[in-house]
Amino acid sequence: MPSWIHKPSWVHKPTRKIVLLVTGAIALVLFGALGAAVVLLSGAYSTAATTQHFKITHRLLDAGLRYSVRASASDIQAPILDEPHKYEQGAACYRLHCAQCHGAPGIAPDEEGRGMLPIASNLAQSAREWPAEWLYYVTKKGVRMSGMPAWEFRMSEESLWSTVAFLTRLPSLTRAEYAQLSQYSAQLECESAEGAEMQASEDRTKIVFRQYACHSCHRIEGVVGPKSYVGPALVEWSHRKYLAGTLPNNEENLVRFILDPQAVRPHSLMPKLEVAPAHARQMARYLLELE
């Protein structure tokens, strides 16, 4: 056979290497997933808050948080933070909503805050390392699987930035200065997000349901959560004729019930969740569109 004629091959050598590498990578991923499933389903993985994370786990979670926040906050522009009274207003918000888990100069976090895993970050350290835009994003959106809530549903935009203004000055505060500031800010209120306008969309409304913990008692169509049967399932709601047993099932009555269940039905076990009227209307419209 002439030397210039080669035996046919269904794969060239470079392509064969790529196929082997891809196959090996897929096999590693599958074996890793299988191993993780075995550990999880065997009960060997401890979910106790008294068992600390591995060091590599903590480092990876911290790095993931930083990269995620940096990417998500890239379009945020901080306003002027040294405006009159913004710092004091932020101190009031911090005292009411943050010090319980994060502590303050010379003040320890509350008992429940000290027992969290992962532990809530020391915000004096965070304020040294993070720009204002990052602090705002985490305060507004929260951090999942950490106990940090999304304050955008509980604090107004002004209050969020006021809190950031306070945080930027937190690293330099002494215990005496914080005590004096805390005493002064006790006369101030932290403005809530009551009546805040929100973009009306299906995904946004699902966030509203989660932020008011509705899925802790109800199964809600489209909302991922525990299999809870404490309250009725919020599915196919538009097919219901009555609300709370007596009222016609329409938007206005549903909004009334969401805002104050026991005012509509005195013996209802559903608590008053301090839902903003705009959010209650979003919930009602979402439920009434479910077929």
Tell me, yes or no, if the pTM score tops 0.85.
Answer: no
What pLDDT, on a 0 to 100 scale, did the predictor assign at position 78? 95
What pLDDT, on a 0 to 100 scale, did the predictor assign at position 38? 86
Closest CA to 141 of 212, 226, 72: 72
What pLDDT, on a 0 to 100 scale, did the predictor assign at position 6? 54
User: Residue 267 pLDDT more than 60?
Assistant: yes
Q: What is the mean pLDDT of residues 164-186?
A: 93
User: Residue 284 pLDDT more than 70?
Assistant: yes
What pLDDT, on a 0 to 100 scale, did the predictor assign at position 128? 95
The top-scoring range by mean pLDDT among 51-55, 201-205, 283-287 is 283-287
Q: Is the dihedral of CA 212, 213, 219, 222 positive or negative?
A: positive
Residues 6+ apart with CB under 8 A from 72: 137, 141
Write out the H or E segment, with its range, that includes residue 243: strand 242-243
Q: Band the pLDDT of 197: cuts 50, 70, 90.
A: low
Q: Band the pLDDT of 251: cuts 50, 70, 90.
A: very high
Domain annotation for the chain: domains and CATH numbers: 60-185 (1.10.760.10), 202-288 (2.60.40.420)
What pLDDT, on a 0 to 100 scale, did the predictor assign at position 172? 94
What pLDDT, on a 0 to 100 scale, did the predictor assign at position 23? 86
C-alpha to C-alpha distance for 9 and 2, rounded to whole angstroms: 17
C-alpha to C-alpha distance for 4 and 36, rounded to whole angstroms: 52
Question: Using CB atoms within 10 A of its CB, is residue 72 exposed (0-12), middle (13-18) or buried (19+)?
Answer: middle
Mean pLDDT over each residue of the chain, to the nearest integer: 88
What pLDDT, on a 0 to 100 scale, did the predictor assign at position 73? 96
C-alpha to C-alpha distance for 234 and 289, rounded to whole angstroms: 11
User: Residue 3 pLDDT more than 80?
Assistant: no
Q: Band the pLDDT of 199: cuts 50, 70, 90.
A: low
Q: What tens digit of pLDDT does each residue of 206-232 get?
A: 999 999 999 999 999 889 888 888 988
Q: What is the mean pLDDT of residues 35-53?
A: 85
What pLDDT, on a 0 to 100 scale, did the predictor assign at position 210? 93
Lowest model confidence (mean pLDDT) among 50-54, 192-196, 282-286 = 192-196
What pLDDT, on a 0 to 100 scale, did the predictor assign at position 134? 97
Q: Band the pLDDT of 97: cuts 50, 70, 90.
A: very high
